[in-house]
Structure formats: C-alpha cells, structure tokens
C-alpha cells in the first residue's frame, strides 16, 4: 500500500466518534415532559489536519524549487513583421453577407477585411455574424457586409511591436487585428493564434520534454461543513 493509503488508514484510526446527549424540555401547558435526543458528531483529530497541511506545504515548496520556464521580455519588442501573419482577405463594403461567409469558409479564416476603394473601413468576423446575424431572420443573400461589420477597427502596422498588438487585442477584446500601410490600405491580419504560436516557439522544447504526470498529488481528506 502506498504512502497515501497508509496515511488515510492512520487518519481513520485517529477519528473519534463522539456521542452527545442533549436533553430538551417540552412545555405542555402546566406539565413538563422530558425527552432525550442522541446524535453522532465526527471530530477530526487536530494532528491529522496538521499533518495534511504540512504535506501540502512541502509539495508547494518542491514546486517552487523546480526550474521555471521563463520568456525574455525582449521578444515582445520585435516588430509584427516577425509574426506569421496572414495576407489580407478583403471584400467591398457593399458585398453580400453570404459572399463573406463563403469566403471565410473557403479560406478557413475567422474574419475578412472590408474596404471602400483601397482603404480599410471595417472588419467582419465570425463573432459579428454569430452575435448580430444568426437568429435575426436576416437574409444573407440580401444583407450587406457594411450593415454588420465593425467599422473603423483598431489597426497596426508591420513596424509596430508585437507587444502593442497584444495590448490592442487585449484592451479591445477582439481576436483579429488588421495590418495597414501608411495609406491605410490592408496588408495583412494578425490573430491571437499567430501570437500564441510565436510565443510558443521560444519554449516549445521545454514544454514537450516535461513529465506527463502532474507535479502535485491530490490527497483526499474529510472536509468540515
């Protein structure tokens, strides 16, 4: 039997069954009838609790002693062009929603960029379609992209830092960031997945060589209520 089983057996031997008898008086007019109620209360030995918590503290201490995976903050100062960003997938603002959905399905992407001429004027994502279109009864063959796109989205350039891209996406709560040139023409798009893959590439080896089992072991114990 392993350590956990032995400890559980010892803990069980230390538990005491305490029977408490209480008396209650029930007033019935002028007379008084006495009765007894008997119940069992499980009392956990303080030594058992002390041993369980001591083991948990030791486990946490061992975790802190193990080498940690660290990332050089300098990687976030690299330009966005270092990311594996995607070329722009664009549509005119007057295009039909059905065309946009088909285009996203064909290219397996989560967003398309919307143009008026050559300039970026909006972005239409799968989230826009899910939240604004589905369930509304809208005819995808008649509605236009302009009706449901996110107008004037946050943008970045290829020379902006990766840290700025993360800041914009986190602050705005969106997963796709359009990339534009000096004339505000679309040149690409960055997704959360692109950034995660970039970060992962710096410590992939450390993650792949970690032991499969968790570092902390759960020890069942009786909890008080």
Does residue 163 have a pLDDT over 60?
yes
Q: Residue 168: pLDDT band by 50, 70, 90 thresholds?
A: very high
Does residue 63 have a pLDDT over 60?
no
Q: Residue 135: pLDDT band by 50, 70, 90 thresholds?
A: confident
Angle between helices 162-172 and 192-200 (to 10 degrees): 130
Q: Residue 73: pLDDT band by 50, 70, 90 thresholds?
A: confident
Phi, psi of 211 (to 5 degrees): -65, 145
| Alpha-carbon distances of 3 from 6, 72, 218, rounded to whole Å | 5, 40, 12
Task: Please report, rounded to a whole number, the percentage of residues in the chain having pLDDT higher than 70.
Answer: 59
Does residue 64 have a pLDDT over 50?
yes
Q: Which residues contact 126 (CB under 8 A, 6 or more apart)?
A: 104, 110, 111
Does residue 80 have a pLDDT over 50?
yes
As a CATH number, domain 74-200 is 3.10.580.10
Tell me the per-residue pLDDT of 26-55, one tens digit each, with 9 for 90 and over.
444 444 444 444 455 555 566 665 666 666
Q: Show me where the domains of the chain are located.
A: 3-65, 74-200
Q: Which residues contact 43 (CB under 8 A, 6 or more apart)?
A: 15, 16, 18
Phi, psi of 138 (to 5 degrees): -65, 140
């Amino acid at each position: 039997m392993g350590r956990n089983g032995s400890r559980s057996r010892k803990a069980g031997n230390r538990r005491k069954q305490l029977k408490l008898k209480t008396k209650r008086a029930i007033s019935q007019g002028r007379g008084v009838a006495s009765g007894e109620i008997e119940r069992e209360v499980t009392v956990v030995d303080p030594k058992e609790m002390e041993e369980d918590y001591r083991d948990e503290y030791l486990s946490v201490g061992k975790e802190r002693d193990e080498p940690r995976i660290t990332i050089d903050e300098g990687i976030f100062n690299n330009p966005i062009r270092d990311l594996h960003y995607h070329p722009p997938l664009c549509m005119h603002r007057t295009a039909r929603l059905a065309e946009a959905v088909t285009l996203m399905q064909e290219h397996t992407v989560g967003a398309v960029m919307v143009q008026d001429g050559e300039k970026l004027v909006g972005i239409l994502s799968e989230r826009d379609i899910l939240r604004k279109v589905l369930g509304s009864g809208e005819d995808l063959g008649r509605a236009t992209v302009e009706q449901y796109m996110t107008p004037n989205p946050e943008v970045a350039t290829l020379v902006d830092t990766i840290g700025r891209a993360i800041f914009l996406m986190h602050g705005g709560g969106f997963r796709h960031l359009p990339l534009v040139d000096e004339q505000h023409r679309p040149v690409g798009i960055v997704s959360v997945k692109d950034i995660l893959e970039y970060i992962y590439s710096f410590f992939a080896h450390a993650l792949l060589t970690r032991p499969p089992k968790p570092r902390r072991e759960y020890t069942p114990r009786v909890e008080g209520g």
